[in-house]
Structure formats: structure tokens, C-alpha cells
């Protein structure tokens, strides 16, 4: 966790062109008695002061208000379809005996003919060969590219910007052969194929390289009317918005694929990509399940709790992830009109699973648990049950009905144990929806 914090500070130093020594040490609190637990904004009271008592009033009045507030204050507004125009999909390859015959692997290149400055996104889809019908699918972005998610040697190495990697997986900000399969531990493809799930993924850097200037060569610059913006304004989208847009384009691909059961799409992400999965799920109702793996601050963790990473820390280290407005709440969480339980609530009446890890105190596991608990009144409007408990369960004891939760032993990561819970949960929730 210390390492995660330090890397954040290092980024600040690079982004601002300052020496690290000039940065004051961020004060990080881990003492629950000092968490503050400020009162949360009201979920079920409209801006006109009316109490929301029905699912209909939630859908028609309160939900759109909350979406607009997240756009304005946290993630920024995703440009409408007119802004990006035609989307083109080109099949770049199909391999029917992938993963030792367990799966069919499809590579699809997504581009915007009207915006050639964007180099497009390479989607990789694995569909289980053994199945009785179209497969439900998990869709999520990776940190290092498709060639890192799977170790199959014929997947093209991503040619995009990569974060430098001490183990030699990236040199001069380009992937090397050493990064093949680097994220395999986070993507148990074989286990998922055996359980009948398809998996769709793409590299987040195809949408926007993850650094302060990444937008200049990513989707955001390509779609901005002047193409050469220097300043992003309050309410305009950040990298999380661009990444989430990519997840929705993956959903487009999946919807058009007869091998996929597009009524049962789960969007998943770890950490910064967990924040992204939550925002994608909030914006795109085609994701019938949203999985937040240790998404922390700016994800599932309540911002009004001062534990681990705070708004002040995250907006300093990673300002490009959010709309500029968000940084104004540094040290002033109580002034923000939303908190993250409202983001979780936007997923209703679909299903959501939130997961934490014991040693991931930076992400505030309790704050992640509480966001789900505090979202329950909205699920209740739809007759849906949440955790079934108000107490955070012990490690290794998952809880929940339409809102699932677990905390596991260990560090910040996406592990096979986590995926097993997601697969079980998806099987149950999707089965109930059939
Ligand atoms: C940093 C950051 C977190 C983020 C994490 C990650 O630790 O502070 O907010 O979730 O990186 O994406 O791994």
C-alpha cells in the first residue's frame, strides 16, 4: 500500500514537473475513529425536495438528476453519439482452437472513420466452445494490452504507449515480448471458459494512455471539436469517461455477436479500471451486472470517509481521470453533491458486486462495503435485496443478493478467488433473470 501511495506521488512530480521533495507528504489516515463518516447526501430526495417513493419516480426524476451530478462533479459528460458518428468494426482474426481448444478467440478492431486521429481499439473476445447457447460475457479493460491478458503467442503485441516496467515488459514506453501473459493471473480465462462465460477485453491505453498528457493522443483529443485543446473545463470528461466509452463500444460488439448472450453482459474492472467499470455500468444499462474489484476512492469507496486515499490525494496524483470540478472537493468532501453510494444506486435494478481486500487499506474496504449498503434503499424500490446484513462480513465470506460483497485476505489485486465469486454471482443473478 505504501508502494501504491509513493507511485501516486511520483506521478504528481512528473505531471507537474516538480521534484518530489517539493511536494508535502500527504497525510493518510487509517484510524477508523478519525474517518469522519460525514453524513451522506440524500439518495431519495429530489432537488425540488420531494421524497422518492417509487421505482418510477427514481427512474424518471432522481436517477437523471444523479447522473447529471456525477457528470458535472466527478467524471464529466460523455459526448453524445453525434460527436463520434459512425463506428467501424473489422474482424482482425478468428482462432477456433484457442486456449487448447477450450475457446474461439476473435480479434476485432474498432475505429471511428470520422475521427481518424483516434487510432482505434483492439477488442479481444474469447467464447467458450462448449456451450448450449449464446454465452454470457464479462467485459473489462486491461492495464497492459490483450497480449498481456493471455499468453497465446499469436496475439499481436500492443504497439501503444505502455507504462515503463522494471521487469522489462515495456521499454521506451512500448511493450516487449516479456509482457506477454503479464496479466494472466488477473484473467483466469480457462476457468471462465470452463464455466461457460465469454470474456471480452481491450487495452485502456487504446482509448487513452494513462498519464497526464495521455489525452493528447487518445480519444478525447480526437473527439474534441478543435482537436487541440489545452484546457479541460468543468463537466468535460476525463480518462475514466473515455475508458468507460470504450467499454460501451465493446458492448456494441457483443450485442452484434450471435455467440454472445447480450442480455447477460457483466462489466468488470480492477482498481482505476474498477472505477471505470462502475461509471460504464452507471451510464450503459446493457451491462446487467457491474463488478467493482477494489475500486477505492473515486470508485466504490465513500468519499466522505477520510480513510486511505482521499479526494485531495487522488485529484492531485491523477487529475486526468476526472472532470476538473472534482478537484474542488479536495479536503471538502462534504461540499460535493454526490457520494459513491449514489453511483452504486445508479446500477439498480441491475446487479452489482463490490469486492475489497484486507491489505488494501488505501482503497478503504469499509467505505466500499458501506457504499453498497447505503445504496440499498434504491434497490428496495425495485423489490430487490442487497447484502442481507449491515455488518461487513469477515474475509472469505461473501454476502448479498442483488448487491454482492466480499473481502478477501491479501493485497490489492484481482485474483482467481475474486473471479470465482463473480462467476458464481453472475450464474445466480443471470439464472434468476432468465
Ligand atoms: C493508485 C490510485 C488508486 C487506484 C490504483 C490502481 O493506487 O491511488 O486510486 O485505484 O492506483 O488503479 O491500481
Q: How confident is the model at residue 383 (pLDDT cuts 50, 70, 90)?
A: very high
Q: Which atom of ligand 1 is nearest to the CA of 274?
A: 10
Task: Tell me if residue 271 is catalytic.
Answer: yes
Burial of 167 (0-12, 13-18, 19+ CB in 10 A): exposed
**Which 3 state secondary structure label does DSSP give 261?**
strand
At 231 the pLDDT is: 85
Q: Which atom of ligand 1 is nearest to the CA of 270?
A: 12
Mean pLDDT of the chain: 94
At 24 the pLDDT is: 61
Kindly tell me if the per-residue pLDDT of 387 is higher than 70. Answer: yes
What are the DSSP calls for 77-104, one per residue? BPPPHHHH---EEEEEEEEEEEGGGTEE
At 225 the pLDDT is: 76
| 16-44 mean pLDDT | 77
Kindly tell me if the per-residue pLDDT of 221 is higher than 70. Answer: yes
Whether residue 297 has its Cβ less than 6 Å from ligand 1: yes
Whether residue 411 has its Cβ less than 6 Å from ligand 1: no
Other residues' Cβ atoms within 10 Å of the Cβ of residue 107: 18
pLDDT digits (tens, 9 = 90+) for 224-237: 876 667 789 999 99
Q: Report the separation in Å between the CA atom of 75 and the middle of ligand 1, taken as the mean of its atom positions.
A: 16
pLDDT digits (tens, 9 = 90+) for 193-212: 999 999 999 999 999 999 99
pTM of the model: 0.95
Percent of the chain with pLDDT strictly greater than 70 = 93
Q: Report the separation in Å between the CA atom of 272 and the middle of ligand 1, taken as the mean of its atom positions.
A: 5
Domains by residue range for the chain, with CATH: 1-30 (no CATH), 41-433 (3.40.50.1820)
pLDDT digits (tens, 9 = 90+) for 43-82: 999 999 999 999 999 999 999 999 999 999 999 999 999 9
pLDDT digits (tens, 9 = 90+) for 137-149: 999 999 999 999 9
Question: Is the separation of the CB atoms in 124 and 103 below 8 Å?
Answer: no
Whether residue 271 has its Cβ less than 6 Å from ligand 1: yes
Cell of 266: 457483466
Task: Tell me if residue 256 is catalytic.
Answer: no
| 167-183 mean pLDDT | 96
Strands 287-293 and 260-270: parallel
Kindly tell me if the per-residue pLDDT of 3 is higher than 90. Answer: no
Other residues' Cβ atoms within 10 Å of the Cβ of residue 311: 23
Amino acid at each position: 500500500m505504501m508502494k501504491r501511495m509513493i507511485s501516486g506521488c511520483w506521478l504528481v512530480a512528473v505531471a507537474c514537473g516538480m521534484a518530489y521533495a517539493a511536494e508535502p507528504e500527504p497525510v493518510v489516515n487509517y484510524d477508523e475513529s478519525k474517518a469522519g463518516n460525514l453524513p451522506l447526501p440524500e439518495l431519495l430526495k429530489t432537488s425540488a425536495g420531494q421524497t422518492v417513493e417509487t421505482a418510477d419516480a427514481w427512474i424518471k426524476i432522481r436517477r437523471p438528476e444523479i447522473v447529471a451530478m456525477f457528470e458535472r462533479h466527478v467524471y464529466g459528460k460523455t459526448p453524445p453519439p453525434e460527436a463520434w458518428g459512425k463506428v467501424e468494426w473489422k474482424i482482425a482474426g478468428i482462432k477456433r482452437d484457442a486456449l487448447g481448444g477450450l475457446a474461439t478467440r476473435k480479434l476485432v478492431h474498432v475505429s471511428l472513420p470520422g475521427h481518424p486521429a483516434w487510432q482505434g481499439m483492439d477488442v479481444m473476445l474469447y467464447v467458450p466452445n462448449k456451450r448450449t447457447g449464446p454465452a454470457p460475457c464479462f467485459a473489462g479493460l486491461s492495464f497492459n494490452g490483450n497480449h498481456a491478458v493471455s499468453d497465446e503467442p499469436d496475439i499481436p503485441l500492443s504497439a501503444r504507449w505502455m507504462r515503463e516496467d522494471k521487469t522489462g515488459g515495456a521499454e521506451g514506453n512500448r511493450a516487449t515480448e516479456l509482457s506477454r501473459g503479464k496479466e494472466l493471473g488477473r484473467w483466469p480465462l480457462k476457468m471462465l471458459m470452463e464455466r461457460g462465460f465469454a470474456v471480452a477485453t481491450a487495452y485502456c491505453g487504446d482509448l487513452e494512455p494513462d498519464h497526464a498528457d495521455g489525452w493528447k493522443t487518445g480519444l478525447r483529443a480526437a473527439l474534441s471539436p478543435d482537436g487541440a485543446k489545452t484546457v479541460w473545463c468543468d463537466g468535460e470528461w476525463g480518462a475514466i469517461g473515455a475508458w468507460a466509452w470504450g467499454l460501451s463500444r465493446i458492448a456494441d460488439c457483443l450485442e452484434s455477436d450471435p455467440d454472445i448472450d447480450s442480455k447477460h453482459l457483466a462489466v468488470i474492472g480492477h482498481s482505476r479500471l474498477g472505477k471505470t467499470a462502475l461509471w460504464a455500468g452507471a451510464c450503459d444499462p446493457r451491462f446487467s451486472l457491474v463488478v467493482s474489484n477494489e475500486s477505492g476512492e473515486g470508485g466504490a469507496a465513500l468519499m466522505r470517509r477520510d480513510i486511505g486515499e482521499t479526494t485531495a490525494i487522488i485529484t492531485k496524483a491523477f487529475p486526468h481521470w476526472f472532470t476538473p470540478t472534482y478537484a474542488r472537493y479536495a479536503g471538502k468532501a462534504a461540499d460535493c453533491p454526490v457520494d459513491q453510494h449514489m453511483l452504486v444506486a445508479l446500477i439498480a435494478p441491475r446487479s452489482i458486486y463490490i469486492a475489497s481486500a484486507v491489505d488494501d487499506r488505501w482503497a478503504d474496504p469499509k467505505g466500499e462495503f458501506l457504499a453498497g449498503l447505503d445504496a440499498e434503499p434504491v434497490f428496495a424500490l425495485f423489490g430487490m435485496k442487497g447484502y442481507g446484513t449491515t455488518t461487513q462480513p469477515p474475509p472469505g465470506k461473501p454476502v448479498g443478493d442483488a448487491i454482492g460483497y466480499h473481502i478477501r485476505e491479501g493485497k490489492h489485486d484481482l485474483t482467481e478467488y475474486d473471479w470465482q465469486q463473480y462467476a458464481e454471482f453472475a450464474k445466480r443473478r443471470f439464472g434468476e433473470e432468465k
